[in-house]
Structure formats: structure tokens, C-alpha cells
Amino acid sequence: MLIKSRQNNQLTENHVTDQGIYRQRRSFITSAAALAGMAAVPQLWLPGNAVAGARLAFKKTGYGQGLKPTSRKHITTYNNFYEFGTSKSAPAANAKSLKPRPWSVAVDGEVEKPGTYALEDILKNQSLEERIYRLRCVEGWSMVIPWVGFPLVDLIKRLKPTSKAKFVEFQTLHDPEQMPGQRRTVLAWPYTEGLRIDEAVHPLTLLAVGLYGEVLPNQNGAPLRLVVPWKYGFKNIKSIVRIRFVEKQPRSSWQAAAPHEYGFYANVNPQVDHPRWSQKTERVIGSFGRRKTELFNGFAEQVAGLYRGMDLKKNY
């Protein structure tokens, strides 16, 4: 059963009681009761009335201590999001056509609670938190981003995948009217990605709804995107509209488009070069020079156990 969350109305100066109404005792009592009811509503962000740039209610965490976040300007103007164009500046220029509210996510496959869930339902009673993670792209650049979201495992527990579910497949919205880049056959749309179940339920894996304490801008994957901090950026699928639990490994979009260049796992590994460039170093956007690329993007201690016994060069 899907439960609809009520809207969390925002008070503005236009809601201040008019003097004439104030003098009417009954209206005054009614207004006071309404305000008292609103005070009891948890200060959670509800997508139905949020706009890009709106502040989010979240708690800070210790993730990313010591890292200096990349400027918001760079994070929101230098993006890979082929649904809006193939240049780094195209998403910021073209993503205004995306309508991220209202939004729903279809859940199906090997799961006990399939259905189409409004984003309000997904976020219902969910506490948001800030995590500062480095996003490393296969092209040799990286950013340090203060994401706001919640662990994917929290949602997976609620959906209750069956014992047959070995992988989780994600799909991006497919709507060429909203996403003009999909009018070109750069990739086979819709954009598809996947994780093994143990990767999906790892506590580092995040579903993000914001950055820099604000609602996600369209060009950064509004309203819901995946953040898997030890994998390359193309694995971090944006604008998710479908989550499917499957028994067999799904074929991701870039893996299908260029299997000799992009593998299913996409783990950050400085020892595995892209056929056209080295992955040993990276350029941090907004900084000078380059730095050495860290195995698993700096999360080797936390995630190396997921791949114990695997050939990381073969399973790239």
C-alpha cells in the first residue's frame, strides 16, 4: 500500500493575517489552529513543493573530514549528463526543461513490495544526512562534493528483495521532450546501471537528493541519483525512475556501448587504464596540478572485502 505524504506548506509574508481577519475571533482561532498543526509537521523536505536551491533539513556526518569541497559553481556547471548534451557545459545550459516534481519511481523484479512509489513515499520518515565524497570520473577529473541523501540500504530493507535478487538495476527517465540529448543516439536510452546486492547495501552507497545543503539542481541528477563513492562517475546514475531487483547481472549503458572501455564494476583503480588515457592521476576541478588516483577512490579499507579473490583488472 502506498501512502501519500501531505504537503509541507511554506509560510511567506503573503500568509500573514490581514488586520481585518485578525479582528474576527473565529477566523483568528482557525488560523492559530492551522499554525499549531504545522508546527507539529517534521521539517523534512518534500519534493512536491521543493525547488532547486531550496534548503534541506539534514544532519552533518563525519564522512569526508579534511576534504575541501569543490565550489558549488564548478559542481553545477561542469557535468557529464548526456541526456542534456555531450559537452561538460551542456547539462547546466539545457537541463531547465526537466520537470523533477512530481516524481515517482517504479520498483519491480525479485522484490516483495513492488509498485510505483512517489518520491514523497520514498522519503517518508527518512532522515537526510550530509556526506562529503569525492566523485572520480573516468576522463581523469574529480570533484569533492557535499552530498545530501540517505543510505540506499534503508530503502532496500523497506522493499524486501527476495533471495533470488543478486543485482539491482537502475534506469534514468526516458523523455526526449524533457531531456533533449536523448533525441540523439549517443547511447541506447534509457540510461541503465546496476550494482551487485552487496554493493547496493553497503553503508557507503547513497541515494542523493541534494548537494551543498540544497535540493539537487537538474544538471546534477534531480530529484534522485545514486552515489557510489568508490566507483567512477558514470556508475552514479541520475534522475532515477526505476529500480529493478534481478537474478542476473544487468548490462549497463556504457558497458553495452563500449565494452572494451567500460566494465560493469567501474571500480576506481589506478592500475587499470582506459584504452585512451591513464587512470594513475586525476585533476581536481578548481585546483592546480594533478594528484595520484587512490584505489577505490580512497575507500579501499571499507570496500576491498567486497572483491576479495576477484581479478580487478579483468573485472574492471
| First vs last C-alpha separation in the chain | 40
Measured in whole angstroms, the distance separating CA 164 from the mean position of its chain's CA atoms is 26
Instruction: Count CB-CB contacts under 10 A for residue 49.
Output: 13
Strand, coil or helix: 229:
coil
With 0-12 CB in 10 A as exposed, 13-18 as middle and 19+ as buried, what is 80?
buried
pTM: 0.85
* Contact (CB, 8 A) for 313 and 272: yes
Strand, coil or helix: 213:
coil
Measured in whole angstroms, the distance separating CA 111 from the mean position of its chain's CA atoms is 21
Give me the residues paired with residue 274 across strands.
277
Give the burial string for 141-175 (b: 16+ CB within 10 Å, else e). bbbbbbbbbbbbbebbeebebeeebebbbbbbbbb
- pLDDT, tens digit only, all 316 positions of the chain: 343 333 333 333 333 333 333 333 333 333 333 333 323 333 444 445 567 779 999 999 999 999 999 999 999 999 999 999 999 999 999 999 999 999 999 999 999 999 999 999 999 989 999 999 999 999 999 999 999 999 999 999 999 999 999 999 999 999 999 999 999 999 999 999 999 999 999 999 999 999 999 999 999 999 999 999 999 999 999 999 999 999 999 999 999 999 999 999 999 999 999 999 999 999 999 988 899 999 999 999 999 999 999 999 999 9
Domain locations in the chain as residue ranges: 50-307
CATH of domain 50-307: 3.90.420.10
